Amino acid sequence: MQIDDFLRREIALGSFPSAVYAIGSSRGIEHENALGNAVAVPLRIPATLDTLYDCASITKPLITTVLALQLLDIDTIRPLLTHTSGLRAWMPLYTYPDYLTAIREHGPEYEPGTRVVYSDLNFILLWSMLPDYAALARERIFTPLGIEADAMFHPPLTLCPRIAATEWGQRFEAKLAGIPSIAANRDGLMWAETNDGNSHHAGGTAGNAGLFATARGVFRLAQSWMNAELLPRDVVSEATRNQTPGLNESRGLGWQISNGMYGHTGFTGTSVWVDPTRDRIMVLLTNRVHPCAAPIAMQRIRSEFHRYS
C-alpha cells in the first residue's frame, strides 16, 4: 500500500522509529499495519498491532472530554474544553508544591473568551474535578467498549514488551521550562510511563495525557464518537462543531475542528482524525520522540498520511 511505503520512507529518514495505523469507517477498521521498532535503544523490539503507545494529548478528547461531558455541567466547563479560559499554554506544575494553587496563582495570562490558547492547564483542571479518574475511564469507557487490553492508564511493567518507548530523559521539558535542573528528575528511558511531566508526577495522568493504547484501541474510541455510544447524539454534535467562531482557532469541546473534520494530535507523535462527511476515521501512532524529541515535520507527515487515507 502507498501508506506503508510512505511510512517506511519516514522511518528510514529517522522521523520516527515505528508507526502503527488504523483506518476505517463507523463500521470498523478497513486497513491497519505496524512498521518499524517500538523500541530502538538500548534494544530493538518490533512494533506490532498489539503495541501500546503513549498517546499524549489525544487523551484529552478521547478520555477526559468524554468523562467531563458525562459527569460535569457543560456550560460550567465550556471555557476549559474550548481552550478559551485565559490560562497560559503550559507550566511545569511538578516544580510547585501544589498543582491547583500554581494554576490559580500563575496560570492566568489573557482575558477569558477573547482568544484560543491551547493549554494543558485546562485539562488538568478538568481532571481535578473527576475523582478516581483512571477508575472512571475503565468503568465508563474501556469496559463498555471492550478495549481493556487495548487502552489503559498505568500499564504494568510486565507489559513493557508491548509498549513503545519514548524519550531518554526529560530534556525537552527542561529546555521548554528554561530550568535545566528539571532534566535530573527523569534521566532514564521513558518506557511504560507517560512522557508528559505533569501527568507523570501526578501519578500517571493529570487528564492532559497518560493514555496508553493500541491503534485499534484509539480507533475504537474514535468510533464511539461517530456512533454516539458513550454520549447522547446531541452532545456529540455539540462537541464536534466549532464553538469558537471569530476567534483565532476553531475548537469544539475537547476537539480541534478543521474543514468539517474533528481530531487531535499528541506530542509523542500520535493523531486521530474523524471525517464525518466521508465516514472516515484515521489513526496514526508513532513514537517520534524516541530516543530524543528532535524537531521533525510531523504536521507534514500527518497531512500526507491523511491524503493516503
pLDDT average per 10 residues of sequence, the chain (309 residues): 94 97 98 98 97 98 99 98 98 97 98 98 98 98 98 98 96 90 89 98 98 99 98 98 98 97 98 98 98 93 95
Q: Which CATH architecture has domain 2-308?
A: 3-Layer(aba) Sandwich (3.40)
Question: What is the grid cell recorded at 219?
Answer: 480507533
Domain ranges of the chain: 2-308
Q: How many CB atoms lie within 10 A of CB 297?
A: 11
- The radius of gyration of the chain's CA atoms, rounded to the nearest angstrom, is 18
Q: Assign 303 to helix, strand or coil.
A: helix
The pLDDT of residue 290 is 97
Alpha-carbon span 257 to 251, nearest angstrom? 5
Alpha-carbon span 17 to 254, nearest angstrom? 29
Name every residue whose Cβ is closer than 8 Å to that of residue 305 and which is 6 or more positions away in sequence. 3, 6, 7, 21, 271, 282, 284
Alpha-carbon span 108 to 106, nearest angstrom? 6
The pLDDT of residue 253 is 98
One-letter identity of residue 203? G
Name every residue whose Cβ is closer than 8 Å to that of residue 152 and which is 6 or more positions away in sequence. 52, 138, 142, 211, 212, 213
Alpha-carbon span 178 to 20, nearest angstrom? 33
Name every residue whose Cβ is closer than 8 Å to that of residue 13 and which is 6 or more positions away in sequence. none
Question: What is the grid cell recorded at 254?
Answer: 475537547
The pLDDT of residue 91 is 97
Alpha-carbon span 288 to 295, nearest angstrom? 9
Name the β-bridge partners of 179.
none
Query: Across the chain, how many H-helices and E-strands are there?
Result: 13, 10
Q: SS3 helix, strand, coil % of the chain, rounded to 5?
A: 40, 20, 40
The pLDDT of residue 250 is 98
Q: Assign 95 to helix, strand or coil.
A: helix
Q: Is the preceding omega at residue 97 within 30 degrees of 0, hence cis?
A: no
The torsion region of residue 126 among left (phi > 0), alpha (psi -120 to 50) and beta comes to alpha
The pLDDT of residue 181 is 87
Alpha-carbon span 196 to 53, nearest angstrom? 13
Alpha-carbon span 248 to 254, nearest angstrom? 16
The pLDDT of residue 294 is 87
Distances (CA, A) of 153 to 71, 164, 206, 287: 20, 14, 11, 17
